Structure 1
Amino acid sequence: MTSVSAGDLVDEFECFGVELSIDDDDIIDKLKGFCSIYRLDASDLSSEWIAFVHSRKAGPKNISAELLDVFERERLNKKISKLPKTPKVKKEGSSVIYDLETLPEAVHSEEQGDGLLDTYSTPSFKGGQNKKRQLTPDNLPIKRLTGKGRSPVVPFSPASFSPANATPSRKYGSRTTAGDVVASYGNADKVSWKREAENTASITPWDLTDMLDKPYKFMFQKLADKAHVLNDGVEELAQYLQTHHKIEEFSHVALPVQDEVTVCGRICCDSQGKLNAKSVVLEGSRETSAGRCIPIDLSELKEYSLFPGQVVAFDGINITGQKFVTRKLHKGVPPPQPEKAVKIEADEVVNVMVATGPFSTSDNMMYEPLGDLYKYLQRDQPHLLILMGPFVDSKNEEVEKGTLETTFEEVFQRKMDEISILTQRIQCEVVVVPSQRDVHHDYVYPQPPFRMNSKHKHVRFVSDPCTLRVNNTVIGLTSTDVLLHLSGEEISGPSGSSDRLGRLAKHLLTQHSYYPLNPPSEEVNIDYDKLELYARLPVNPHVLLVPSDLRYFIKDIDGCCCVNPGRLAKGHTGGTYARLRLQPSDKTDSRGVEVSGQVIRV
């Protein structure tokens, strides 16, 4: 808005029959001051004056210094209270310029009834009672995207138009524990973690026919098909339990009997709430129990560990046919042991580095932890690098707010190019596993591999979950946080195992499944047809990788080295990664492979 001149004021007031004299300096200066203070031009000021004198039933020609003071106090001061409180003005009479600090106050001020947003909207009818305008909460969370390859759409806010945050995380940069070993396994203190031999790791799927290697259509499954899959899972595990524990036969779960019998079925909850000792229900298979359910009395069990979806076998009695009083819980049976595929020389050691996303702190997308992982890669030069998502985390603040200046796929492609070039230089094989939290990938479990044409053959994109053979070592891995989901649903007896994390990991082995929980967590969308094909544990692996938000660990469970490497970034600070040493062994207790490992802070 240009500066208001005396001539402009004379012309505008003359339109309403108000005669002003350019020589009347007091009146002209006062009107110019009104235009400057209240950001009005000559036309607006004359309109305000005419409205004022008509409200007082005074003649428009009766203009005086005293009346102008009343005009300012009763008309202009009320108008200024509706304007933004702290606008930035370039100079007297110039236009108003808002920045990111003043615009939120102008937009969201509750005192402005006809404020900034109201000038751009259709006025609504107001009844006899004035009501405050309802405000939309800031920074609404965006759980998932409806489109791929682009930033999510968010409600209007200044932050949605701001450039990406390029400030490094202060908390990450100020950490003092980088490089500390927080967990060890085997002979980790006596081995060399730097690659010495020039041999390479041979990586193949455990079974090519059961390998999920391409996308599929999901959200089309029928309830009948889902029921068949769940029933087949009960009957399959029932055979393992019957053979291992030498059970003669399984009885009907709801059949009244006076003698002690053995029943088998799936653990369920009798309500929509969390499972507890009083709400446990056993659902039998169609073959033995016609799908009937029976409440379970656990009062006589000294030790148990149960969760919804678990297939178990109980010994007990059911006198009335209304409740099964269990007296013994048969232990779960792990899957069969893997057989050697080829003969590997004893000195062919494979060093493996495992890292799980997110690879950037939650307050930015600068990937500082991933940059530090590059340094450890160049230092140790492992034979194999296993990276598990999320790579573009849906829970990152910049992803939720939509402030990224590039698409999600471009961010992922750029990081894959960096990893490919670095690992090719040090002759390191790479396995990349997607995650449910990858914002640019299919939100379904089992999850197909990333759809990406890599220029480097040493980079392999696999599904979540999958089972791989690295030389003679079988490695099972899933990036879905199944341990956290199980921990929220599992119940255990008073004298159960004190090693809760190990107990949760053991459920995966005894249930022969990477995700045995049913119903699943709200964060997981399961396709049950594909779950039956691609989420089963075909063998008892030598190494089971189960990254989780729970505390990191590396421990032996029924001859399997279970590893939770933690996450490379945890919130605004650094997390952990793991390194493993796989060496062929002829020891009877090593199953042909001797594993050593460490969990290290990044």
Structure 2
Amino acid sequence: MHENEQQSHSLVTNEDIVHAMDAFGIVPSEQLVARVKDLCLIYEYDADTLVSMWVFFAQQKKYATDSMDFTRIEHFEREVLHRNAVSVQTEKMKAPQKKQQVSKNNSSKFETSLLFNEYGADLSDDFVLNDTAHENSEIKSDVKTENSEMKFEKAEQVDGEIFYKRVDNYYGESLETKQWMNKLNHIYEIHPFDRNFYVKNAYRFMQLNIHHCAELMHSFFNYISEAIKNNCEFDSFGNLNVESSEECYFIGRIVKENLDGKQNDKCLRFEGGPTSKRRAFLDLSQLFDYSLIPGQIVTFKSTYDFQNGLKPSEIIDETISINDFSKEELNLSEPLQLVVASGPYFPTKTDDYELLNKLLSYVKKTKPHFIILMGPFVDSKNDFILSNRDIDELFNDLMNTINFHLFGTNIKAIIVPSLRDFNHDCIFPSPPFQGNWPQLYLASNPCLLNIAGIVIAVNSVDVLFHMIRSEFSRTSGDPEPGLRMKLLCRHLLSQQSFYPLYPPDPEVNMEYQKLEYIHLPVTPHLFLLTSKLKNFAKSVDGCVFVNSESLAKGHFSRIRIECLQGHIGSIDQHVNVEILKI
């Protein structure tokens, strides 16, 4: 091992170890910290890597993650650290270059697995009917709401039929069964919040050249920059064309230059916008709390020189660029009831409608005003249906099934496509499906809808999962439960975008000529997302975010918004959400 690498391990401090343990909810004694520090020095690991290895070991042994004690640490040393050291030494003697390559790849997969486990993500595309992966996980989840510490069962009787459901998460008050029953005394109309921000029809894509794309990105940068300047109290801002030995405020975009394939804050750069046309190095060592994603427009307080770039001492609160809520007065004469579900709608290797039929039967009997269904409906990752069914026939059959169940009622189904829908253009933003079903409202993806003044944002792209894969974050002290997920949701509001990542994830074919359709002109009252991450419902800066997970796992959510007339602003104190598992 090189001398500088040995030196880095010798610099492991007690604070490093406590910080690494805190991320997984481990509260160690001083003696335990000293023992772990010794192991870091002996086996030449940094604090984060060694603690992550302990968490993986604890999972395999079915220990609680925070149950670290001296006895288990000794087992961990014998079974993991010592064996790894012997194995590495043996392999180095045989084929040092080959072993080094394998070790690096395994480490990357290991760290990625831990990251997604912490957020409750299901990395498998094989959805099963009775999924228990999240129920038994001992990794500390970071996405629980204040009211979701306990799961509980509900047995509800509707017209003589009993529905057994487990409440996985809820936001607001826990309501009685009869409060979720609706009489549909009032029929609410639905329409786009602003037709200028709504994809109406199919369009030609892949027509944009790189210069036009740059112009659109610069235009959006200027728009957010102006929002920041108008809402802050600073008189002037720095420019990357001019060095500054005194601290001043810089507005720019976070850029990732991942030249060596590693994901760390050393690859971050700060782009000063269209006027400066420069990128600067970014040293975040003085910041202790931040969450940054590539493409994010952010304001730093920092000195600046051409050689060393920026070394920020402060990151300005990004909430200053969050839009206001709609100025339209609400007109809810009776509580607005919604049911929300996301695809896939079939468990893997089947085309069984059982879960969808159960959901539609529940909807028909409880009578919400709207059921919002997000794709994929014909999932491009389900090889069974692609091999055994005609795609167009299957999609039409699904739409006819939904329309049939709702026929003769005043319930409308809002249908939102997905990039994974095999029978739809794989572009974002996506136009609505084409067809004519009386009970269906065909919406674009994403879409911003207006129901009696309630503004609802819907996005079927897994933007949360994509942001996690690109996020650079650090927290100090004892973070509140769910803080990191809250910060990810806040990025959507502060960047005023359904998809603030740039460049986008490889799964997203972004069509930049339609960039205005992913813009959020106002802060929505309700933000509906679909993600592989663990379901949650939480209020972020007054906007209620809901991730229901997929119906293929048996999950859906129901939402009740109380009567509000003449109200303007956030409604998070008047919203109740339950995320259920059939």
Q: Give the TM-score of the pair, scaled to structure 2.
A: 0.69
**Which one-letter code corresponds to 2:409 in the other structure?**
I
The equivalent residue for 1:477 is: 458
Q: Which amino acid aligns with 2:291?
A: S
Aligned to 2:388: 403
Contact 1:356-1:567 within 8 A present in 2 as well = yes
CA distance in 2, matches of 1:210, 1:587: 24
Within 5 Å, give how 1:56-67 maps onto structure 2: none
1:600 aligns with 2:580: yes
- Spell out, residue by residue over 1:13-51, the C-alpha distance to the aligned partner (whole angstroms, 9 max, x if none): xxxxxxxxxxxxxxxxxxxxxxxxxxxxxxxxxxxxxxx
After superposition, the Cα gap between the structure-2 partners of 1:171 and 1:238, relative to the gap in structure 1 and judged at 3 Å, is closer
Instruction: Give, in whole Å, the separation in 2 of the partners of 1:355 and 1:429.
Output: 14
Residue 441 of structure 2 is matched in structure 1 by 460
With over 3 angstroms needed to count, the CA separation of the structure-2 counterparts of 1:275 and 1:584, relative to structure 1, is farther
Confirm or deny: 8 A CA contact 1:201 1:429 kept in the other structure: no
1:491 corresponds to which residue? 472
1:389 is aligned to 375
| AA of the residue aligned to 2:292 | L
Match in the other structure for 2:160: none
Whether the 8 Å contact between 2:413 and 2:440 is mirrored in structure 1 is yes
Q: Label 1:274 to 1:466 Cα distance change in 2 as closer, same or farther (>3 A).
A: farther
Deviation, 1:601, is: 0.4
Q: CA deviation at 1:249?
A: 2.5
Instruction: Tell me the secondary structure at the aligned position of residue 352 of structure 1.
Output: strand
Structure 2 CA distance for partners of 1:597 and 1:328, relative to 1, 3 Å: same
8 Å contact from structure 2 (residues 330, 567) kept in 1: no
Which of 295, 305, 310 lines up with 2:296 in the alignment? 310
Spell out the pairing of 1:94-109 with structure 2 (5 A cutoff): none
Is the 1:335–1:537 contact (alpha carbons within 8 Å) kept by the matching residues of 2?
A: no
Partner of 1:276: 264
Identity of aligned residues (%): 31
Shift of 1:337: 2.5
Aligned length: 421
Query: Would you say the 8 A contact 2:280–2:306 is kept in 1?
Result: no
8 Å Cα contact 1:472-1:584 kept in structure 2: no
Partner of 2:273: 285
The 5-angstrom pairing of residues 336-415 of structure 1 reads 336-341=323-328, 344=331, 347-399=333-385, 402-404=387-389, 407-415=390-398
Change in 2 beyond 3 A, CA 1:296/1:188? same
Match of 2:318 in 1: 332
Write the letter of the residue equivalent to 1:325: K
Name the CA distance, whole Å, in 2 between partners of 1:565 and 1:236.
Answer: 32
Q: Give the aligned partner of residue 411 of structure 2.
A: 428
Which is worse superposed, 506-515 or 175-184?
A: 175-184
Q: What amino acid does structure 1 have at the position aligned with 2:556? A: Y
Q: Distance in 2 between matches of 1:324 and 1:590?
A: 37
Give the alignment partner of residue 214 of structure 2, picking from 206, 212, 227. Answer: 227
2:327–2:568 CA contact under 8 A, matched in 1: no
CA distance in 2, matches of 1:488, 1:254: 32
How far did residue 321 of structure 1 move?
Answer: 4.7
Report deviation, 1:378.
2.3
What is the CA–CA distance in structure 2 between the aligned matches of 1:211 and 1:587, rounded to whole Å?
25
Measured after TM superposition, the shift of residue 171 of structure 1 is 5.4
Find the counterpart in structure 2 of residue 202 from structure 1.
189
Unaligned runs of 5+ in 2: 1-126, 136-151, 154-163
Change in Cα spacing, 1:232 to 1:256, as seen in structure 2 (3 Å) is same
Q: Match for 2:575: what amino acid?
A: V
Distance 1:252 1:590 in 2: 36
Question: TM-score, normalization: structure 1?
Answer: 0.66
- 2:503 maps to what in 1? 519
* Alpha-carbon contact 1:361-1:369 (below 8 Å) kept: no
Deviation per residue, 1:191-227 (Å, 9 max, x gap): 7011034111221111122221100111111000111
Alpha-carbon distance in structure 1 between the residues aligned to 2:408 and 2:240: 61
C-alpha contact 1:359 1:368 (8 A) present in aligned 2: no
3-state SS in 2 of match to 1:545: strand
1:329–1:237 CA distance, 2 compared to 1 (3 A): same
Is 2:493 the partner of 1:504? Answer: no
Q: Which residue of 1 aligns with 2:539?
A: 556
Task: Confirm whether residue 538 of structure 1 aligns to residue 521 of structure 2.
Answer: yes
CA distance in 2, matches of 1:563, 1:548: 10
Change (3 A) 1:275 1:498: farther
Q: Distance in 1 between matches of 2:347 and 2:229?
A: 49
- Matched-pair contact (CA < 8 Å) for 1:584–1:592: no
Q: 1:215 aligns with which of 191, 194, 202?
A: 202
**Contact 1:264–1:313 (CA<8 Å) still a contact in 2?**
yes
Query: Which residue matches 2:555?
Result: 576
Secondary structure (helix, strand or coil) at the match of 2:407 reads helix
Q: Distance in 1 between matches of 2:190 and 2:437?
A: 18
C-alpha displacement at 1:336, in angstroms?
2.6
Q: Give me the whole-angstrom Cα distance separating, in 1, the residues matched to 2:347 and 2:341.
A: 14
Distance 2:190 2:288 in 1: 44
Counterpart of 1:298 in structure 2: which amino acid?
Answer: L
Q: Does the 8 Å CA contact 1:385/1:431 hold for their aligned counterparts?
A: yes
What letter corresponds to residue 579 of structure 1 in structure 2?
A: R
State the distance in 2 between where 1:592 and 1:506 align. 15
**For 2:454 and 2:481, how far apart are their aligned partners in 1?**
30
Q: Answer yes or no: is the 8 Å Cα contact 2:329–2:567 preserved in 1.
A: no
Q: Structure 1 residues 416, 588: CA separation in 2 closer, same or farther (over 3 Å shift)? A: closer
Deviation at residue 343 of structure 1 after TM alignment: 5.4
**Structure 1 residue aligned with 2:224:** 237
Match of 1:322 in 2: 308
- The Cα of 1:362 is off from its aligned counterpart by 1.0
CA contact (8 A) 1:316 1:324 kept: yes
Q: How far off is 1:231 after superposition? A: 1.3
Partner of 1:528: 512
Distance 1:171 1:303, change over 3 A: closer
Map of 1:88 onto structure 2: none
SS in 2 for 1:488: helix
